[in-house]
Structure 1
């Protein structure tokens, strides 16, 4: 079985102070605390703006050696009419200093608007723009699409050919694609509810623990929505993030799932 990493989106959120972070915990040390309760964090701020190399290096210094960040790509790369014209934006995003995270750099998440429709030629051209490495650091890529038009075998085939993972996003608002297409699995669980102290019921958390182990072992778990034939069975690093939904419950949900794994 490959590694299973479970986390949340970001680490700066006022309602987590006193619920996840201890009372009066210094805000400057919130990443330090969060990274010792979880095994991964999805950096979301990079979607909205750029950061300096020193900032990424500083984050890497704060967290444990076995901790991993995933990084959400800039919206200027994905929120465009013609994706094939995004090469300059992609280069700017990758070159801003994310490689300063070094071995703590996990996959890059490329998220698309819910209105973005599948165009095989354009999306295929976009996938070819994604670099395999930068300054000697290997890069892995995951794409999150949220329009029904992507639910076709052709999209899955494009991602498999490129070695890019399709994000499985459990959402009440958008349809999901569970086909495994890369050498890792990236899942975003977005249906937490505030009424549940851990965001999800015990039954649901038990279910996701089973699914996570099957993904890590290389399987394609039953009961999830697929549009193509299963991928070959081989162990894959698995990243699961409790994100959106009832955000205040995300850390508790992640910790509860970690305990089950």
Structure 2
């Protein structure tokens, strides 16, 4: 059968409420990633959003997961929320030098999530999209431009030359315009299809050679699980998309351990 690959998982894996509910008693915190990654096919690393991680963390995550597993990496809020995509040459250098490339073949898309008060600014977006390295070799070269904060803890190599993919999640209604989708398509950036219980704008256009879906909750943001009917509808969408693109789906309704169960239910349907 032709078509794209499908990856389904959760946004992160370290959630105390999952312990004893999804993670069985006896699975220690150190073994949670190994346990989850043997049941889902991808996971979003979201610690990278809050702070630059270290190369040894990425190496550990790479080594604790099965062959063929893929991580998405959430880009730092320093870039999206504080710098607001500006000064990308240095901020991207530090991000890529922090160890992302140590994931090797397990590095999937990089996700950029813009804050709700970030309005549509075409020149800023265009400059940022142009600054993104499109291969792991180019990213290693960018990483070598890191500043002194990463001296002695930088990872600036790649084991092979692979294409890099980027997804952008926007949360301001100003982005609901054809010009934005055209700009994303021109640069091969996937506009995230986010289900946010109606809180933020919903996009359904495919703007890259892959589709990136984030499911934050069916009726209540981050909290509610997905009904059987809702999962059937998402499964039908994924089947349609995968005819022509790779598909990544992440459940972020983590409050009551719905995310891993919903991910497993969607995997079953596919």
**TM-score, reference length from structure 2:** 0.85
Comparing 180-189 with 87-96, greater Cα deviation is found at 87-96
Instruction: Give the alignment partner of residue 199 of structure 1, picking from 206, 225, 236.
Output: 225
Number of residue pairs aligned between Structure 1 and Structure 2: 242
| 2:224 maps to 1:215 | no
Instruction: Give the alignment partner of residue 170 of structure 1, picking from 195, 198, 202.
Output: 195
Do the aligned partners of residues 51 and 137 (structure 1) sit closer, same or farther apart at CA in structure 2, a change above 3 Å counting? farther
For the residues of structure 1 that align with 2:219 and 2:195, how far apart are their CA atoms? 13
1:124-149 CA distance string (max 9 Å, x none): 11111111122334311000011011
Comparing 68-77 with 246-255, greater Cα deviation is found at 246-255
* Alignment RMSD: 1.8
Comparing 239-248 with 86-95, greater Cα deviation is found at 239-248
Offset, 1:18: 1.3
For the residues of structure 1 that align with 2:131 and 2:229, how far apart are their CA atoms? 41
Contact 1:191–1:246, Cα closer than 8 Å, also in 2: no
For the residues of structure 2 that align with 1:121 and 1:72, how far apart are their CA atoms? 23
For the residues of structure 1 that align with 2:213 and 2:22, how far apart are their CA atoms? 22
Instruction: Give the alignment partner of residue 263 of structure 2, picking from 254, 258, 261.
Output: 254
For the residues of structure 2 that align with 1:19 and 1:247, how far apart are their CA atoms? 9
Secondary structure of 1:37's counterpart equals coil
| 2:185 maps to 1:160 | yes
Comparing 238-247 with 154-163, greater Cα deviation is found at 238-247
Aligned partner of 1:93 in structure 2 is 95
For the residues of structure 1 that align with 2:129 and 2:256, how far apart are their CA atoms? 31
| 2:165 maps to 1:140 | yes
Instruction: Give the alignment partner of residue 5 of structure 2, picking from 3, 6, 12.
Output: 3
**TM-score, reference length from structure 1:** 0.88
For the residues of structure 2 that align with 1:147 and 1:118, how far apart are their CA atoms? 8
Offset, 1:82: 5.2
1:13-49 CA distance string (max 9 Å, x none): 1111111111121111110000011111000000011
Aligned partner of 1:69 in structure 2 is 71
Offset, 1:95: 1.8
For the residues of structure 2 that align with 1:35 and 1:130, how far apart are their CA atoms? 28
Secondary structure of 1:84's counterpart equals coil
Aligned partner of 1:179 in structure 2 is 205
Comparing 103-112 with 47-56, greater Cα deviation is found at 47-56
For the residues of structure 2 that align with 1:125 and 1:160, how far apart are their CA atoms? 15
